Amino acid sequence: MKQNQTAWLILGMLSIEPNRSGYDIRKAVETSVSYFWRESYGQIYPTLKRLAAEGLIIPRRQGLKGRAERQEYSLSPKGRARLREWLAAPYRDYTMRSEFLLKLFFGRAVPLAVSVQHIRTFQERGRRSLATLLELEKQARARHRGNPHLPFWLLTLTWGICATRAVIDWSEHALTNLRAKPSRALPRKKAPQHKSRSKKGKRASSRRSES
């Protein structure tokens, strides 16, 4: 049966650590893959119920001292096999939808300063993202030393670091390129000019010249 992307995310998270609740999975996503994978958190709970109904995960109630019971989930053998099948299958083509690039593409329609400001903002966001990724890499190496999953986590982190550095370098190149061009905007429509004067205007002009 075809699974949506949220299902694969859940199965993957449970393969790393079992006995997780929906809240645990959400927090794990926020602190790990959120910098390259956007997830609709409203889909997690209904997807958990569907995966449990299909026998891909095993639900169980866990009682906590002094707290209400919570629903936890673990991978079933069937779910682990399904996850492995998905991981081995070819990945889909990478698609990108960027409002930033779309605005640059049509940048001829506005003053050059508008596109320059967009690029500066983009570059600054890239610098902040790079600082975050470098800190995440540092924390991951320190906190998960010896974890068999760590080399694969670092692959995604170093990809993000390299891609973000490329974004910063590209931004600098783009700013240099735009600064070298004259500032242009679309020509404005000229107001109509009247070639002839009215008779009354001609008479008034004639009297002024005679005086």
> Which residue's structure tokens are 């992307």?
5
Apex CA 20: angle with CA 44 and CA 91, to 5°?
A: 55
Same domain, 121 and 172: yes
Q: 115 vs 204, which has greater pLDDT?
A: 115
Dihedral (CA of 142, 144, 145, 149) sign: negative
Closest CA to 34 of 26, 44, 45: 26
Q: Where are the alpha helices (DSSP H) in the chain?
A: 5-16, 22-30, 44-53, 77-88, 99-105, 112-143, 150-179, 199-210
- Please provide the average confidence, as pLDDT, over all residues in the chain: 86
Q: Could you tell me the two tokens for 159? A: 């990809």
Same domain, 117 and 170: yes
Same domain, 18 and 80: yes
Same domain, 13 and 83: yes
Same domain, 164 and 129: yes
Same domain, 120 and 157: yes
Same domain, 14 and 81: yes
The whole-number pLDDT of residue 12 equals 96
Question: Which of residues 68, 88, 108 is at a domain's end?
Answer: 88
Same domain, 118 and 56: no
Question: How far is residue 163's CA from residue 130's CA, in Å, rounded to a whole number?
Answer: 9
Using one digit for the tens of pLDDT, what is the confidence trace for 24-58? 999 999 988 988 888 888 999 999 999 999 999 99
The percent of residues in the chain predicted with pLDDT above 70, rounded, is: 81
Question: How far is residue 172's CA from residue 145's CA, in Å, rounded to a whole number?
Answer: 36
Same domain, 27 and 73: yes
Question: Which of residues 57, 88, 119 is at a domain's end?
Answer: 88
- Report if residue 185 sits inside a domain: no
Question: How far is residue 195's CA from residue 25's CA, in Å, rounded to a whole number?
Answer: 76
Domains contained in the chain, number: 2
Distances (CA, A) of 15 to 12, 56, 128: 5, 12, 31
> Which residue's structure tokens are 């949220």?
6
Closest CA to 112 of 41, 30, 205, 183: 183
Using one digit for the tens of pLDDT, what is the confidence trace for 10-30? 999 999 999 999 999 999 999
- Report if residue 196 sits inside a domain: no
pLDDT for residue 185 is more than 50: no
The whole-number pLDDT of residue 21 equals 95
- Report if residue 132 sits inside a domain: yes
Same domain, 20 and 80: yes
The whole-number pLDDT of residue 180 equals 84
3-state secondary structure of 122: helix
Please report which confidence band the pLDDT of residue 66 belongs to, taking 50, 70 and 90 as the band edges: low
Same domain, 18 and 77: yes
Question: How far is residue 79's CA from residue 59's CA, in Å, rounded to a whole number?
Answer: 12
- Report if residue 188 sits inside a domain: no
Q: Which of 6-10, 101-105, 113-117, 184-188 has the lowest mean pLDDT?
A: 184-188
Same domain, 56 and 125: no
Q: 200 vs 139, which has greater pLDDT?
A: 139
Using one digit for the tens of pLDDT, what is the confidence trace for 115-144? 999 999 999 999 999 999 999 999 999 999
- Report if residue 116 sits inside a domain: yes
pLDDT for residue 150 is more than 60: yes
- Report if residue 197 sits inside a domain: no
The whole-number pLDDT of residue 27 equals 94
Question: Which of residues 88, 120, 154 is at a domain's end?
Answer: 88
Apex CA 56: angle with CA 67 and CA 63, to 5°?
A: 10
pLDDT for residue 211 is more than 50: no
Domain span including residue 80: 5-88
Average pLDDT on 185-210 reads 50
- Report if residue 133 sits inside a domain: yes
- Report if residue 186 sits inside a domain: no
